[in-house]
A and B are shown apart, each in its own frame.
Chain A
Amino acid sequence: MHFSEDDLREALKRKDPGEGFTQRLMARVEQAKAEGNMRSAKKANGKFLSWWMHRPVWAAAMVAVLLLACGIGGYQYSEYRHAEENRIARAKQQQLQQEAERARDQAIMALEIARAKMNHVLQHARLQAEPDDKIRRQRL
């Protein structure tokens, strides 16, 4: 039996995989995507942990550095807080002192005004009393 190349082409014609091939594949793709995400997250965690597990000296050094950094940071922060509180207290004291000085100055000024007015009244009173004294002296 003879066959031509066209017969062979016909026998090897492309075939369709049938309905639902793409849907089934896309479902597998979604599944692979989800599995891939989980695997990469686990892998990253595992890698991180295994790196530290195989380098205990590095891990201890890193912990010591972290503790030292936390200690220095905490000390500096408390110092800063202390200095800030002092500064605020000093500022408040200064303000109170200024207010007291202002009140004292105002009180002194008020007293001086009162003294001036009293002097003025006394002078007037003396002037009015003077002629009567002269008359009284003349009668005696």
Chain B
Amino acid sequence: MEQTAAFEDDRLKQALTRSVKGDAHAFAELVREHQGMVFSIAYHFLQDRSLAEDLAQEVFLELFQTLDRIQSPAHLMYWLRRVTANRCIDHGRKKHRRREMALEEAPEPVSASEHADPMLLERLQQSLATLPEKQRLVVIMRFQEGLGPAEIAEVLEMPVNTVKSTLHRSLADLRKGLTRKIREVRYAFF
């Protein structure tokens, strides 16, 4: 397992070195490696596939222009998360429609695994779309990327305690939002 991780790290290091020297194939390899992460952060934040793809492409274009500043695969991951988060926030500032978006408009249906309740996952995504930008990003970094509070603090340039409190508040807001939604459904039926 450790051997595989070391091999993977070595492969990415080589791809990074070759990319810095201008090897387009190596850069494409780096893109393939990280496109899922960048696209998913953007997608979960924006809840729009085409906007998320545009944003992800912008992030990788910026990466191509600043490749010589990237020192290691770990630095690359950190850089990608940070730039994606910043671009998401910039996008949110440009278009204020995210906060006012109705729950019904929000996300595409979730492709759930066998164990999860697809309706619950869909509701979770819808509720996430209504959270304020910073809260949304903290939740995405915590539960999509699996980062700890200290790592999230570094990526989003926030104090660790603020990250912890934001995370706590976000989960509470998500629960509240879900409960409200269920009540609305009940009132509609009865």
Inter-subunit contact A21/B178 (CB<8 Å): no
* Neighbouring A residues of B144 by C-beta, 8 Å: 9, 12-14
How far, in Å, is B43 (CB) from chain A's closest CB? 6
* Neighbouring A residues of B120 by C-beta, 8 Å: 1, 3, 7, 11
Given the interface pairs A3-B120, A21-B56, A28-B61, the reply to whether A8 lies near B35 with Cβ below 8 Å is no
Inter-subunit contact B57/A15 (CB<8 Å): no
Name, among A2, A16, A17, A22, the residue most crowded by chain B CB atoms within 10 Å (CB to CB).
A17
Inter-subunit contact A22/B32 (CB<8 Å): yes
B44 within 8 A of A: yes
Name, among B24, B35, B117, B125, the residue most crowded by chain A CB atoms within 10 Å (CB to CB).
B35
Q: A15: nearest residue on chain B (CB-CB)?
A: B40
B81-89, B90-98, B108-116: which one contacts chain A?
Answer: B108-116
Inter-subunit contact B28/A26 (CB<8 Å): yes
How far, in Å, is A53 (CB) from chain B's closest CB? 30
* Neighbouring B residues of A30 by C-beta, 8 Å: 24
Q: How many B residues touch A, CB cutoff 8 Å? A: 43
Interface residues on A, range: 20 to 34
* Neighbouring B residues of A22 by C-beta, 8 Å: 28, 31-32, 35
Complex CA gap A16/B52 in Å reads 11
How far, in Å, is A7 (CB) from chain B's closest CB? 6
* Neighbouring A residues of B64 by C-beta, 8 Å: 29, 32
Inter-subunit contact A29/B40 (CB<8 Å): no
State which of B36, B116, B174, B181 has its C-beta within 8 Å of the C-beta of A17.
B36
State which of A3, A14, A28 has its C-beta within 8 Å of the C-beta of B124.
A3
Inter-subunit contact A1/B125 (CB<8 Å): no
Interface hits, A18-61 → B, CB 8 Å:
18, 21-22, 24-26, 28-30, 32, 36
Q: A10: nearest residue on chain B (CB-CB)?
A: B116
Given the interface pairs A1-B182, A22-B35, the reply to whether A9 lies near B61 with Cβ below 8 Å is no
State which of A6, A13, A25 has its C-beta within 8 Å of the C-beta of B60.
A25
Given the interface pairs A1-B123, A16-B39, the reply to whether A10 lies near B112 with Cβ below 8 Å is yes
Inter-subunit contact B124/A7 (CB<8 Å): yes
A5 within 8 A of B: yes
Complex CA gap A10/B175 in Å reads 16
Inter-subunit contact A15/B139 (CB<8 Å): no
Interface hits, B96-154 → A, CB 8 Å:
110, 112-113, 115-117, 120-121, 123-125, 128, 139-140, 143-144, 146
Q: B25: nearest residue on chain A (CB-CB)?
A: A26
How far, in Å, is B12 (CB) from chain A's closest CB? 16
